[in-house]
Amino acid sequence: MSVLRPNQQPTKGCLSAYLPAGAVEEVERMVETTHVCVRLSRPRKNVHGTYCRPVKGLSHRISINNDLNPYTFLITLLHEFGHLFAFEQDKSLRHDTAWKKHFAGLIRRFVELDVFPADIKEALLRHLQGIRSSDFMDIHLTRTLQSYDEILHADNDSLVMDLPETSRFYYNNKVFIKQACLRKYYVCLEIKTKRKYRFHPLAKVTPFPLAEK
């Protein structure tokens, strides 16, 4: 599903279903001036968004997962716009100094527009002090954003980091036991194969009902 196509005149409010209301006008202006094609993607487990540079007559392309809450959607979009500007101005496609500069500038611009709640604003400003290639690696920021994610609370899922050690849980139709914390990840044992896997602390999993343990 395409939100906006290159050279298409933006319609006011066309992104309102995905963005905080106060961000819509500025985002549409950015889309119009860069001629970027923004597409919605089905949920992807390992990424929230992607950027592709212009090739073979195609303009800039950004894809964003369609299941993100408005604040996560906006931050992901700004992350990818950071890549767009880094490519246009610095010929860089990496998460390097150029990308960090553009991404930080975009975040500060939207913070000044007052589109974020106070807790997200605080987490973002703290995030800017040590920007990482993946926003998901910032536990404080990601957890703050997930508190606005209705799906997490609606389907009784939990975060791996919130489960007690030795807890059993479902993930991708497999059963795991939470074991030790190894640096920034949790080591979890798949019961059927006895193989060990690393889980991000903020991975969403389904705990065993007490009666099943």
- Yes or no: say if 65 and 77 are a contact pair by the CB < 8 Å rule: no
pLDDT of 75: 96
Looking at domain 155-212, its CATH architecture is Roll (2.30)
144: confidence class by pLDDT, cuts 50, 70, 90: very high
- Yes or no: say if 134 and 151 are a contact pair by the CB < 8 Å rule: no
Helices (H) and strands (E) in the chain, counts: 6, 10
pLDDT of 14: 61
46: confidence class by pLDDT, cuts 50, 70, 90: confident
Which residues face 54 on adjacent strands? Answer: none
Q: Is the pLDDT of residue 174 over 90?
A: yes
| Residue 129: count of CB within 10 angstroms of its CB | 7
pLDDT of 211: 46
Residue spans per domain, the chain: 2-151, 155-212
pLDDT of 13: 47
Q: Tell which wins on pLDDT, 127 or 14.
A: 127
The C-alpha atoms of residue 57 and residue 68 are separated, in whole angstroms, by 30
pLDDT of 183: 79
Which pTM value belongs to this model? 0.75
Residue 166 sits at the vertex; the CA angle it makes with 163 and 172, to the nearest 5 degrees, is 70
| Count of CA atoms in the C-beta half-sphere (13 A) of 191 | 13
Location of structure tokens 């995030």: 127
Q: Tell which wins on pLDDT, 202 or 166.
A: 166
The C-alpha atoms of residue 28 and residue 106 are separated, in whole angstroms, by 14
Question: Span 164-192, mean pLDDT?
Answer: 92
The C-alpha atoms of residue 126 and residue 122 are separated, in whole angstroms, by 6
CA distance to 146, 178, 184, 208, per residue, from 164 (Å): 20, 8, 16, 12
> pLDDT by residue (tens digit) across 94-143?
999 999 999 999 999 999 999 999 999 999 999 999 887 776 678 899 88
> Residues near 9 by Cβ (< 8 Å), separated by ≥ 6?
32
| Residue 206: count of CB within 10 angstroms of its CB | 13
